[in-house]
């Protein structure tokens, strides 16, 4: 949604500002200014700027979101091993503390930028923007952004990515889409990770997880994978190749580009 | 707050007396938590002490099959009429600054 074309005025909220609506008149003598600003405007503006930078270099940016410990870093390690020769990959890691995840990625010979958020429970577009200052985008085809492990807050912040992936690991239980609808609604693909545990944790029903997802009106594909056993990795890699081939055509760099230290 | 401050500044206000925010159940923001955080966020700004009004927008979907509109729940966005899951969200995920009430009365001093 933006603030300029009026697309943020919807069926649901237009009655609030329509003549005679609750907000059309002021009860006090004070002057009232009607606005319809998206409160996340500042973040979304920077996210769009980030997206333009990715597009300018033909880079596909993928945001990974999930609970802590659901296998985001393990998925990236397996992906780098499988596709390291096919694509030039970089990773932006988000964690409250430590460089552990970035070091795991670097040990595979891949560039990783660690963002330590302190007590912040999500990445926002500004943090990713700062990380991009340390990344020469001309050198990469895919940038993975590993968000802070959290099924709540990351869902509300656009980072400038092209696709969102939500991982749901088998030990977490199959009803997570019903419990965290805001997160799972944003997913362009849902990955049921640690699928090698399905025979042991047989109360997790993949079809039930998918049904909960469909009830959020999401048509996102659901892929079962195990980074450990390799199960489903081909489906994931095919999905990823499709994202890269569907990425927007390389565009002109944003106007402000020259004044930045961005590549 | 920076949006409110810039509106107040652009309109030469001396004080913000009321702020109205609109939010839906899928905005990712909770009304009560916003109200709790608001006094801290507004402290020391031109909106210090301003009243915060929250308008909750309804969660509504339009069915892509029967094309009817219905109310929905955050974790169940299926059509209320025919049960189809392929629906479009009409409202309920917004987080908007709807209105700012300003005190511009420099003549109030005389």
Does residue B99 have a pLDDT over 50? yes
| pLDDT value for A35 | 83
Tokens 């596709």: give the residue.
A83
| pLDDT of A247 above 60 | yes
Beta strands in chain A (DSSP E): 31-38, 60-65, 89-95, 111-116, 142-146, 163-169, 189-193, 222-224
Tokens encoding A33: 């200014």
Question: What's the pLDDT tens digit per position in A222-245?
Answer: 999 999 999 999 999 999 999 999
Span A79-90, pLDDT tens digits: 999 999 999 999
pLDDT surpassing 50 at residue A117? yes
Chain B interface with A: residues with Cβ < 8 Å: 2-3, 7, 11, 13, 17-18, 20-22, 24, 26-29, 55, 57-58, 60-61, 69, 74-78, 85-92, 94-104
pTM confidence score: 0.85
* Lowest-confidence pick of A22-26, A55-59, A166-170, B90-94: A22-26
Whether B86 shows a pLDDT value over 80: the answer reads yes
A182: pLDDT strictly greater than 70? yes
Is residue A18 scored above 80 in pLDDT?
no
Confidence of residue A167 (pLDDT cuts 50, 70, 90): very high
Average pLDDT, chain B: 92
Residue A261 has pLDDT above 60, yes or no: no
Nearest to A215 among B85, B95, B104 (CB): B85
Average pLDDT for A182-199: 97
A4 contacts chain B (CB < 8 A): no
Q: Distance of CA A133 to CAs A94, A130, A209, A257, Å? A: 16, 5, 39, 11
**pLDDT band for position A24 (cuts 50, 70, 90):** very low
Place of tokens 């594909």: A221
| Mean pLDDT computed over B91-96 | 94
Residue A92 pLDDT exceeds 60? yes
Assigned fold of A58-248: Rossmann fold (3.40.50)
- Integer Cα distance of B41 and A140 in angstroms: 40
- Selected for mutation to probe chain A from B28, B77, B90 (highest A CB count within 10 Å) is B28
Residue with tokens 């916003």: B34
What is the per-residue pLDDT for A178? 97
Report the range of poorest mean pLDDT among B12-16, B93-97, B101-105: B101-105
HSE-CB of A73 using CA atoms within 13 angstroms? 20
B63 has a pLDDT exceeding 80? yes
| Structural domain boundaries in chain B | 2-105
A27 has a pLDDT exceeding 80: no
Whether the CB-CB separation of B41 and B33 falls below 8 Å is answered with no
Q: At residue A29, does pLDDT exceed 80?
A: no
Overall fold of domain B2-105: hypothetical protein PF0899 fold (3.30.2320)
* pLDDT score of A2 more than 60: no
Rounded to the nearest integer, the mean pLDDT of chain A is 88
**Binary contact (A12, B24; C-beta < 8 A):** yes
């Amino acid at each position: 949604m933006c603030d300029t074309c009026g697309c943020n005025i919807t069926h649901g909220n237009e009655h609030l500002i329509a003549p005679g609506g609750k907000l059309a008149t002021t009860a006090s003598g004070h002057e009232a200014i009607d606005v319809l600003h998206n409160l996340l405007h500042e973040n979304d503006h920077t996210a769009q700027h980030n997206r333009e930078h990715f597009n300018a270099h033909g880079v596909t940016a993928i945001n990974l979101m999930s609970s802590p410990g659901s296998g985001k870093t393990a998925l990236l390690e397996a992906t780098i091993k499988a596709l390291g020769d096919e694509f030039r990959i970089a990773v932006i890691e988000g964690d409250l503390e430590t460089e552990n995840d970035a070091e795991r990625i670097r040990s595979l010979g891949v560039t990783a930028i660690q963002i330590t958020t302190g007590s912040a429970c999500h990445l926002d577009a500004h943090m990713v923007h700062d990380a991009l200052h340390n990344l020469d985008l001309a050198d990469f085809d895919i940038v993975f952004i590993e968000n802070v492990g959290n099924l709540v807050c990351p869902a509300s912040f656009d980072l400038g990515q092209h696709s969102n992936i939500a991982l749901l690991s088998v030990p977490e239980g199959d009803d997570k889409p019903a419990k965290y609808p805001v997160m799972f609604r944003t997913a362009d693909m849902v990955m049921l990770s640690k699928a090698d545990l399905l025979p042991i944790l047989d109360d997790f029903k993949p079809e039930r997880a998918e049904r909960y997802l469909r009830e959020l009106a999401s048509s996102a594909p659901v892929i079962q994978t195990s980074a450990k056993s390799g199960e489903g990795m081909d489906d994931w890699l095919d999905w990823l190749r499709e994202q890269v081939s569907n990425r927007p055509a390389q565009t002109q760099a944003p106007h402000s580009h020259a004044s930045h230290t961005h590549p | 707050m920076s949006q409110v401050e810039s509106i107040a500044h652009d309109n030469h206000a001396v004080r913000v007396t009321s702020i109205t925010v609109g939010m839906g159940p899928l905005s990712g923001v909770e009304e009560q938590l916003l109200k709790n955080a608001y006094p801290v966020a507004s402290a020391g700004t031109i909106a210090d002490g301003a009243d915060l009004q929250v308008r909750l927008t309804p969660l509504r979907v339009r069915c892509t099959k029967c094309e009817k509109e219905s109310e929905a729940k955050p974790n169940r966005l299926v059509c209320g009429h025919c049960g189809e899951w392929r629906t479009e969200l009409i409202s309920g995920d917004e987080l908007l600054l709807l209105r700012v009430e300003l005190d511009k009365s420099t003549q109030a001093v005389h």
